[in-house]
Amino acid sequence: MAVDANTPVTALKGVGKTAAESLQEMKIETIHDLIMTFPYRHEDFQLKDLADTPHNERVTVEGRVESEPSVLFLGKNKSRTQVQVLVGRHLVKAIFFNQPYVKAKLHIGEVLTLSGKWDRGRQVITVQSHSIGPKTSGADFEPVYSLKGSIYQKTFRKLMRQALDLAKDDLEDCLPERFLSNYHLPSFQDALEWVHFPPDGEMLKQARRRFVYEELLMFQLKMQSLRKKNREEEGGSFINYDLEKLKNFIQTLPFDLTPAQKRVVNEICKDLREPFRMNRLLQGDVGSGKTVVAAISLYAAVTADMQGALMAPTEILAEQHANTLAQWFEPLGLNIALLTGSVKGKRRQLILDQLAGGEIHILIGTHALIQPDVQFSKLGLVITDEQHRFGVDQRRVLKDKGYNPDVLFMTATPIPRTLAISAFGEMDVSVIDEMPVGRKEIQTFWMKKDMFGKILGRMEKELAAGRQAYVICPLIEESDKLDFQNAVELFQQLSSHFHGKYTVGLMHGRLHSDEKEETMRAFSEGNISVLVSTTVVEVGVNVPNASFMLIYDAERFGLSQLHQLRGRVGRGSEQSYCVLLADPKTEMGKERMASMTETNDGFVLAEKDLQLRGPGDFFGRKQSGVPEFKMADLVHDYRALETARKDAEKLVNSEEFWSSDETKCLREHLEESGVLSSSRLD
């Protein structure tokens, strides 16, 4: 029988019943599946110098037996054999567990090769494998696979060897030749051989480089073709804005735009002018001034005789935006309207009529803005504040109504660039990476829990000066109940502490949304001095008079979340303070607290968070969107990711990619992944 990559693995020699079951459990059906199952690490049998080997690491050494071995029997089938071995200039103890028979093989003066764990302090090697004589020239690296069922590594390795020898040469190299030569990447065949059975460490590294690049390129091809498809096939609007009017408006602002704001305004305007549909993510740390960028963009649409919409996650935020925009635009004769769930009856009807008649230029609101009966006359641009709350469904609603507006998503969550271009790979990304000048940096302190009383004193000083404070307690997803209790207890404690002096309010996820809005409003109007809250405190809430924040059990939060929370203070002209109350148990926890006190830069913290917690945890469980890679690691391979993104963009925008033979294999992969046949939004 001719064997090729599509032959079932069971055709390989030595696949018995157990092996077949294990392979099935691992979803390895064909020889190709087997070959593409990469080891997660390699056992390294290269000879190492003990002086360079860290404590507790596995090491392979050659040495000479220096003492008579001794065996200690420790009970049933248990024993410890011990011998002195001279390794280079180190006299170490080699310990063999449960192999009393080795004693007979160990003679003074004999040379041994030992592999095992190195205990630097005790100068002991706990031997895992050994051979008599100097190290043979055999493989320095043995692959270790992540296996299921009861198949042995050794059996799996043998099958792999067989599979590679039989079928490796049948497989097609998907990467065009010029990529291999440009980046000095090994061929698919070489890389396959080396990723499983590397002749040396360098080859393993090169094999890994190739697969990382290939994987990221495939992924980015998917994202970039999606992007292209979205832009071209959904037919966006050509918003021919009036540049002079925009410039004049910017002149009337009470401040100068920061260079970063100018840059992103340009990026957005360029998109508006193009006939494509804009699909852009605007990132900017809390307080970086995204609202004015949104306002300018909306105004651009209006000067092109189109309407704009701004969607916020809560009524309070929508009101806030409406007030700001009305202040800026009403002097220019623009009609700004607010539509939320609480706008009802005649007022609502009037707004709907004016909207359909094109009299309203900019509509601001919550989700109420995309209800079925809300009809625009010519919607050109939709902006959403806090991108993650505006999902695919809402965009579909707009599309179903016959609108294909340009879309701008704003988020205050700083997302490390590597994650941004993977999780949001089909979007364009603009970043406001600097703050307006003259901001007072929030002063952040980390204190132990037993300092609580003292901190309350400090808080009271702020309250006495007429300012307000937040007290945040953590949200423990697993235990909504416990969480709620924490907040309630703190609320009671603080209520009695400040009794007769300051009003304390309580906010948590179990409140009805009306109650939440009401409490939030009371706080923003200054009728509540201290707000005890779980993390439901809305992102974007702007109460400039709040100058003090206490975060309880701060070690339970991720860095990005702490930074978001902290961004609720420091919004006014007064010096603001943030106190992290935490007794972290781990080094990582301590490092997180320290980082918070060291920087106010959300992007620095986000990068740090990514390093400490990894990409999977970065967005929290729910809205990850970060793909899982077989080889690539978004933290370490960010350069490869950038390169792959650029290459993919160039490819999908070139004629030849869609027709040439050289890229046929890449196109087939794309087809398999389903991108070319259907868009994610449909």
Of residues 622 through 641, those in contact with ligand ADP by CB under 6 A are none
292 binds ligand ADP (CB under 6 A): yes
CA 177 from centroid of its chain's CA atoms: 33
Count of residues in contact with ligand ADP, rule CB under 6 A = 15
How far is the CA of 503 from the CAs of 469, 526, 538, in angstroms? 11, 10, 20
Rg, the chain, Cα only = 32
Instruction: Tell me the one-letter amino acid at 102.
Output: V
Of residues 419 through 458, those in contact with ligand ADP by CB under 6 A are 436
CB of 335 to ligand ADP, least distance (A): 22
Q: State which residue, 73 or 255, has the beta carbon closest to ligand ADP.
A: 255
**Which structure tokens are listed for 578?**
């943030």
Burial (0-12, 13-18, 19+ Cβ within 10 Å), 589? middle
| Cβ–Cβ < 8 Å for 203, 194 | yes
3-state secondary structure at position 82 = strand
Alpha carbon distance 343, 54 (integer Å): 67
Q: State which residue, 32 or 321, has the beta carbon closest to ligand ADP.
A: 321
State which of residues 175, 286, 362, 641 lies at the interface with ligand ADP (CB under 6 A). Answer: 286
State which of residues 30, 162, 220, 291 lies at the interface with ligand ADP (CB under 6 A). Answer: 291
CB of 310 to ligand ADP, least distance (A): 12
Burial (0-12, 13-18, 19+ Cβ within 10 Å), 53? middle
Q: State which residue, 288 or 486, has the beta carbon closest to ligand ADP.
A: 288
288 binds ligand ADP (CB under 6 A): yes
CB of 507 to Mg ion, least distance (A): 19
Q: State which residue, 97 or 255, has the beta carbon closest to ligand ADP.
A: 255
287 binds ligand ADP (CB under 6 A): yes
284 binds, among Mg ion, ligand ADP, none (CB under 5 to 8 A by kind): ligand ADP
**Which structure tokens are listed for 256?**
């100068």
Q: State which residue, 106 or 431, has the beta carbon closest to ligand ADP.
A: 431
Among left, alpha and beta (phi > 0; psi -120 to 50; other), residue 109 is: left
Alpha carbon distance 210, 205 (integer Å): 9
CB of 244 to Mg ion, least distance (A): 28
CB of 453 to Mg ion, least distance (A): 35
412 binds ligand ADP (CB under 6 A): yes
Q: State which residue, 81 or 291, has the beta carbon closest to Mg ion.
A: 291
506, HSE (Cβ side, Cα atoms, 13 Å): 17
Alpha carbon distance 441, 438 (integer Å): 9
3-state secondary structure at position 372 = coil
* Residue number, nearest CB to Mg ion: 540
* Spatial CB neighbours of 94, under 8 Å, sequence gap ≥ 6: 63, 82, 83, 84, 85, 112, 114, 116, 124, 125, 127
Positions that interact with Mg ion (CB under 5 A): 540
State which of residues 63, 69, 289, 615 lies at the interface with ligand ADP (CB under 6 A). Answer: 289
Site string for ligand ADP, 241-280 (x = CB under 6 A): --------------xxxx--x-------------------
CB of 291 to ligand ADP, least distance (A): 3
Using CB under 6 A as the criterion, which residues of the chain lie in contact with ligand ADP when the complex forms?
255-258, 261, 284, 286-292, 412, 436
